[in-house]
Structure 1
Amino acid sequence: MDDQNLTREQWLARDFEAHRPRLRAVAHRVLGSSADADDAVQEAWLRLRRSDTSDVANLGGWLTTVVGRISLDMLRSRASRREDSWDAGLAELTETERAAHPTARTPDPAHEAELADSVGVALLVVLDTLGPAERLAFVLHDLFGMPFEQIADIIDRSPAATRQLASRARRRVRAADSGAEAERAGAGSGPEGRRERAVVTAFLHAARGGDLGTLLELLDPEVVLTSDPAAAAMGSPVQLVGPEAVAGRFNGGAQSARLAAFDGGIGLVWAMRGKPKVAFRFTVSDGRVTAIDMLGDEAWLESLEIYYLRD
């Protein structure tokens, strides 16, 4: 069809399709989900159809900004749903993701592999620990070269603050990629550190998978779980004694916890919008967990140097 005979919508559709691969790549890397990325791109198309773009000199930049804002809203909505679950009580952490969010999409392994190839393992390790604005600033600047001034407009921050967000995310990615997070935290190195990490990793996998038998095997007969006042105020039991009680607490849970090095050891951390909420400090002896301390004190958590590890 001759260009002169194209309708406005046909013009828009043609131009939009030219930008679709980049837009989907942006959304995919920010959201970590192929299905969510498709939803974000579709919403961008609907907004384009409703908008007057006659004064837009750079349609690609305009569309990237729109997709960025949509993705940011989706991230915030996702985080808000998790925060609601947290506020309902710490016990929510021990339910499976499916039980807590029955309408959530099941991750497609093929899509996860595609994402891993496109952004690297290190980013996947830390992506869910970043706050929405921090995550978007890093992806748009470091992976797509968008100027901080433009990103600042999307996340409603100053360019300087946006630069700081991206820098903080970059440090986490580099630490995870090099393995320096454990070394710098003084954990996970040497034979004893590697054994401790293996035990906590196995515990995390068994908890997520609902493998009660493995959990019981990993727990010492006299294991004790204790909670500080902050964690107890969130709904955690002040103390549980014995492998059956402790395993029952974690069985099928820990879906959002991340393996981490902190405070000179290996444990788990649950973060909300990039901010640690609870640290699970493990004590391991002779290949078994002898104690788990659930720590939610905000001041203490903010003082920690936390390095998230691959599990």
Structure 2
Amino acid sequence: MNTLPERIAGVRAFNRLYTRVIGVLDEGLVGSAYSLSEARVLYELAQQDVHEVPELRRRLDLDAGYASRLLGKLEATGLLVRERSETDARRQTVRLTEDGRDTQAELERDTDAQIGRLLGTLAEPDQQRLLAAMTAVTGLLGEHRRDATLVLRPPRAGDYGWVVQRHGAVYGTEYGFGPEFEGLVAGIVADYVAARGSARQAAWIAELDGEPVGSVLCVQGSDETTAKLRLLLVEPSARGHGVGKRLVAECVEFARRCGYRSMELWTQSNLTAARAIYRGAGFELAESEAHDSWGAELVSEVWRMRL
């Protein structure tokens, strides 16, 4: 595992590459006469429907003095107009002129063309890898929406492999579980897929704003009257949105509709977040046993609830 200094060096190397690729260090944006900051102001005014100067400063993280100079320069060139708010004379509003809108549209076209040329140097699979990596960076470092749209859906092609891979990656990183754990998950998924078509089992993939962030399975347990909840997963980036709670609730409700009279699950005592979700859904701890598995000393637990 990389040390902190190695990680810092990796981030700085990426930052240098990124600034070079997007041309931030060039005098003008995409060969124009406008700096990156000036182009961002025009973009926010045209594309994001920003009208008040305080909101513009907040979006661009600009201090008052720099923002005033920036807006003054663009106003002097005839691209925007600053006015006092009609509803609050203490506040200042800003809007693009016709020349400002034309200039911003031209910058948009030039930027799209530049990005198109950049993507054109990559093969289709590499373009997809690049976009996936950018999405991951945005999700981890961007503003996290509290109102993100959560959707539960049945698995599609490729989702079963995703469930196995993400279990291995997340539990390996957070709890030190070795490859044997990923093999266990793969076996559970394989058994589920082999029994596809059964009306008494189901699986769900949770999506947050269109990206997969969680999973859970409902299968038959130790007998025909008992359902079993398996493979609950919530991506670290999606925690705090109620994903795990929704997945468990959906699984429990499905088991009730299928006529199961009880439900059980198997987990580990150190999975505290998952245990809290199970307890909140009505499960109770029934059994526990110490074991050494997947490179760790663990205490397994069986939780049950009446349906």
TM-score, structure 1 normalization: 0.25
Structure with the higher fraction of residues in helix conformation: 1
Greater strand content: 2
Larger radius of gyration: 2
Q: TM-score scaled by structure 2?
A: 0.25
